[in-house]
Amino acid sequence: MNQLSPEVIVATDAFTSLTDDIVRTLKRGSVSAERGRMRFCAHQTAEDPLHEMLISLARTTYIRPHRHSGKSESVHVVEGCGDLVRFDEAGGLVDVLRIAPHGSGRCFYYRMATPQYHMLIVRTDVLVVHETTNGPFRPDDTEFAPWAPEEGNIEGRAAFLAHVEKEIVARRASLQEPA
């Protein structure tokens, strides 16, 4: 394994196996990381045709709503709870999917086969997921929602998240779901 940055560890061998130690490392790393996230990439390069990552997200992380042009994305929850929030083109809430590990009674796996604006909101101290997408990785393939504040805009981010939370609470109340 090779640590490329405080947020990224990459596999160095063609055969990769993980133990609980890497999960603990990722969880500790995400909690202390400036952006509240850390990942282990099982693929060795950005050019690989298949990208598999074990990602730990701290409760404090902000995942700006985005979509991936020409990509499919699947997520399997390993540990923790969160919400997958999907938006329409104008930033309206389309739906909220409560996610948690298998056995929780919540959704533990989802796949998006078409580009949709989405974000994850972490509901526990950390959320650990296994994400799979097609490569190669090109930063321009990620399109950030123009109506959502940039990661560095702390005040805008707080106001946006408060608005999204209000929408989620209203939606759950109208569907008579527990908060």
Domain boundaries of the chain, sorted by first residue: 2-174
**What does the pLDDT read at residue 4?**
84
Q: Are 126 and 56 in contact (CB under 8 A)?
A: yes
Which token pair is 90?
């104008």
Q: For every one of its 179 residues, what pLDDT tens digit does the chain have, with 9 covering 90 and above?
A: 888 888 999 999 989 999 999 999 999 999 999 999 999 999 998 889 999 999 999 999 999 999 998 899 999 999 999 999 999 999 999 999 999 999 999 999 999 999 999 999 999 999 999 999 998 888 788 999 999 999 999 999 999 999 999 999 998 888 776 66
Q: Are 67 and 141 in contact (CB under 8 A)?
A: no
Phi/psi at 57 (5° precision): -120, 125
Can you name the CATH fold of 2-174?
Jelly Rolls (2.60.120)
Rounded-to-integer distance, Cα 78 and Cα 102, Å: 8
Q: Whole-model pTM above 0.85? A: yes
3-state secondary structure of 170: helix
In sequence order, the β-bridge partners of residue 111 are 74
| HSE toward the beta carbon, residue 71, CA cutoff 13 A | 24
CA R_g for the chain: 16
